[in-house]
Amino acid sequence: MPGVVLVGAQWGDEGKGKITDLIANDFDYVVRYQGGNNAGHTVIHGGHKLALHLIPSGIMYPSITPMIGNGCVVDPRVLLEEIDTLEAEGISTEKLLISGNAHVIMPYHLDLDGASERRLGNNLIGTTHRGIGPAYQDKASRMGIRIQDLFDEHIFRAKLEAALLEKNDILEKVYGLPTYTVDQICETYLPYAERINPHVCECSQTLNAALDDHKWILFEGAQGTLLDIDHGTYPFVTSSSCTAGGATVGTGVGPKTIDKVLGIAKAYITRVGSGPFPTELSDEAGDTLTQVGQEFGTTTGRQRRSGWYDAVIVRYAVAVNGLTDLCITKLDVLSALDTIKVCVAYECDGQIYKTVPASQTVFHHVKPIYEELPGWKTNITHCRSFSDLPHEAKDYIDFLEDLAGIPVSIIAVGPDRNQTIMRRWKTR
């Protein structure tokens, strides 16, 4: 079946935006299935960087229908700003579709995200403060407001009133924050509704009809496997299903639709926010990765934590997502280093772990076991085929491939769309 899921194999920011943009041309639909504007996907358009937070990275191609699926949470203000930015860049957003079942991020979600982080103090998650967790919380507790509710003022007001009964109490009594009135929120949100209305669709029906018509669908994951609410390093995760399974739940297509699952991993690894990170570096090599890799958050501007490639985590991503192919990005960043380490297993209390330990407590205490490989210390950003790479870089990729147990089908050697080695990837 003509469905491909593209998913982050680490803690996010693996370069999903670039690779989506790269392979999108093979597809008719590019669909976001989870998350919201906590994502920051960078694509290079007309020589300059464009950060997409909500709109799928396939938007650059006029032939593609981009869609925001039911599994996403949508901040209407951010959505409309993103539409305006793209239009100003000469990129049409006319074909953009948004599921009427996607949940809406409300102003109180933003307040509660910030307030609960402040209350956690040193134990904070380090969220993006975009209201993501509180919006999914309301979805699960059946107090959420969906995109379709915006178009029926009576329903919108009734749902808002019910939500504010609780939210205002929490805002005021728990956090000492200002409260909201229904009128106040309607004043800002109802005009949003007018602009969003032409884009609204029934996501599952639209995609299933497209599949019947033999159209090709790319499901663009946000965040990464280790940030998944079920399979990530809980509680230091986001609040949605970032893994491949989320693609079916978050759009309403059946699992048999998915033909391939492409995992994206950096040639090293980064993480933004709190939580365990076995291969994290706090030395010169870490600084090099941060500076050369420009590891600063696309959404929040925070400096990302950097570390050596962790093969245990990628193997876990292979299993959890059923990855069929791996794409290694930012290989060019490693050109700055004399030698490169790869974590092949963990050790904790004399025990060796070749897979992610089932106990989170153990995971917090594991020490990485490294193998060291020689660097290549030469610019590889011009390489366009595997044979162009220096033999040390080829050996590095072959080593990662052996450890992952699946083919490394794409290698990225720079941020531009064309700075890519298409080794084995074939969409169709």
Which residues make up the interface to Mg ion (CB under 5 A)? 13, 40, 298
Quote the DSSP letter at residue 178: -
CB-CB contact of 298 with 41 (8 Å):
yes
CB-CB contact of 16 with 57 (8 Å):
yes
Binding mask 317-336 for ligand GDP (x = CB under 6 A): ------------xx-xx---
40 binds ligand IMO per the rule CB under 6 A: yes
Kindly tell me which residue out of 2, 3, 15, 76 binds ligand GDP, with binding defined by CB under 6 A.
15
Kindly tell me which residue out of 38, 248, 324, 329 binds ligand IMO, with binding defined by CB under 6 A.
38
How many DSSP H helices and E strands does the chain contain? 12, 20
Query: Among Mg ion, ligand IMO, ligand GDP, none, what does residue 368 contact (CB within 5–8 Å per kind)?
Result: none
Residue 212 among the catalytic residues: no
Residue 41 among the catalytic residues: yes
125 binds ligand IMO per the rule CB under 6 A: yes
Comparison of 75 and 149: residue with beta carbon closer to ligand IMO? 75
Torsions phi, psi for 91 (to 5 deg): -100, 120
Three-state SS at 110: helix
CB-CB contact of 16 with 242 (8 Å):
no
Strands (E), 221-268: 258-266
CA atoms within 13 A on the CB side of 156: 24
273 binds ligand IMO per the rule CB under 6 A: yes
Beta bridge partners of 264: 8, 327
Comparison of 18 and 159: residue with beta carbon closer to ligand GDP? 18
From 41, 103, 109, 199, active-site residue: 41
3-state secondary structure 324-383: CEEEEECHHHHHHCCEEEEEEEEEECCEEECCCCCCHHHHHHCEEEEEEEECCCCCCCCC
Comparison of 302 and 354: residue with beta carbon closer to ligand GDP? 302
CA distance 34 to 2: 20
248 binds ligand IMO per the rule CB under 6 A: no
Kindly tell me which residue out of 3, 8, 69, 322 binds ligand IMO, with binding defined by CB under 6 A.
8
14-22, 88-96, 112-120, 225-233 -> range binding ligand GDP (CB under 6 A) = 14-22
Which residues of this chain interact with ligand GDP, rule CB under 6 A? 8, 12-18, 40-42, 298, 329-330, 332-333, 412-415
Catalytic positions, please? 13, 41
State the residues that interact with ligand IMO by CB under 6 A.
Answer: 8, 12-13, 38-41, 125-128, 130, 132-133, 222-224, 227, 238-239, 272-273, 298
